[in-house]
Amino acid sequence: MTPPLPPAGAPFDQYSAGYDAALEAGLAVSGEGKTYFARGRVTWLQRRLAQAGLAADRVLDFGCGTGSAAPFLLELLAPRALVGVDISTPSLEIARREHGSSRTRFLTPSELLAEAPFDVAYCNGVFHHIPLGQRDGAVACVWGALRPGGTFAFWENNPWNPGTRYVMSRIPFDHDALTLRPAVARALLRRGGFEVVRTDFLFVFPRTMAWFRGLETLLARWPLGAQYLVLVRKPRAPSPAPNA
């Protein structure tokens, strides 16, 4: 049974048609568009998976919205199947229209477990929109969808980065967001039964300082970047997740 998630119909339904435009307007101060960040996140994840020798044959995009990450997940992780899940029906309709294919499906959370198990779950900037009382349920949803040994790539906005806070202040659908400090994110994921593998910070330098971006790999352990990745693993022989 799928754990309870925020009801369909609400906050992001009103932003689905203009989501990309609002995001681009907010990100403009960085000198980059959403494509730069989307590709950067998935490239970083691909590198970490390759270093660990981990498969990505079946990938879940949790909180996929309008499906804008799908082209990068398909290109860089090269899964046999990609499933995006979201609570916003209008967003899913856009995702199906623009990114649906023989390898890609976009579903509601109630349909998710029928598609399990997955090797990798990817999630970007979703949990700061989930009410506090529903975050454990969302983690349990991902837990239930992953195979034992599966990987969850949990990307969130870094509240310690002043540029991140400024960008979020410019985006209408982020005005009520409740950001997560990295330690809070790790605690949330551990509470859901996951083992933390590592935490990386990315996107330190804006476009005006692009010549320094070669240093980002060296700076990944420092809490400087605009976003962070908590990479976690579902144990291979797990006991039931505490919040399942």
In sequence order, what are the residues at sequence separation of 6 or more whose Cβ sits closer than 8 angstroms to the Cβ of residue 154?
Answer: 123, 127, 185, 189, 229, 230, 231, 232
Number of domain units in the chain = 1
Q: Please give the C-alpha separations between residue 205 and each of 104, 109, 209, in angstroms, as whole numbers.
A: 33, 36, 6
Cβ(135)–Cβ(127) below 8 Å: yes
The identity of residue 89, as a single letter, is T
Is residue 1 one of the residues assigned to a domain?
Answer: no
Q: Is residue 161 part of a domain?
A: yes
Q: Is residue 241 part of a domain?
A: no
pTM over cut 0.75:
yes
Q: Check residue 8 and give its pLDDT.
A: 41
What pLDDT is stored for residue 43 in this prediction?
A: 97
pLDDT of residue 161: 85
Residue 145 placed within a domain: yes
Length of the chain, in residues: 244
DSSP β-bridge partners for residue 195? 233
Distance from chain centroid for Cα 237: 25
The answer as to whether 2 is a domain residue is no
Is residue 70 situated within a structural domain? yes
Q: Which domain holds residue 173?
A: 11-233
Report the largest interatomic distance among the alpha carbons of the chain, rounded to a whole angstrom.
Answer: 49
Whole-angstrom Cα distance, residue 186 to residue 97?
35
* Count of C-beta atoms within a 10 Å radius of residue 242: 13
pLDDT of the residue at 12: 53
Give the pair of three-digit tokens for residue 153: 């790539």
Is residue 199 in a domain?
yes
| pLDDT in the model for residue 207 | 83
pLDDT of residue 27: 54
Q: Which two tokens stand for residue 121?
A: 């779950």
Q: What is the pLDDT along the chain (244 residues), one digit of tens a residue?
A: 344 444 444 555 555 555 555 555 555 566 667 788 899 999 999 999 999 999 899 999 999 999 999 999 999 999 999 999 999 999 999 999 999 999 999 999 999 989 999 999 999 999 998 999 999 999 999 999 999 999 999 999 999 988 777 676 666 666 678 899 999 999 999 999 999 999 999 999 888 888 888 999 999 999 999 999 999 999 987 555 555 4
The answer to whether residue 227 sits within a structural domain is: yes
Residue 212, domain CATH? 3.40.50.150
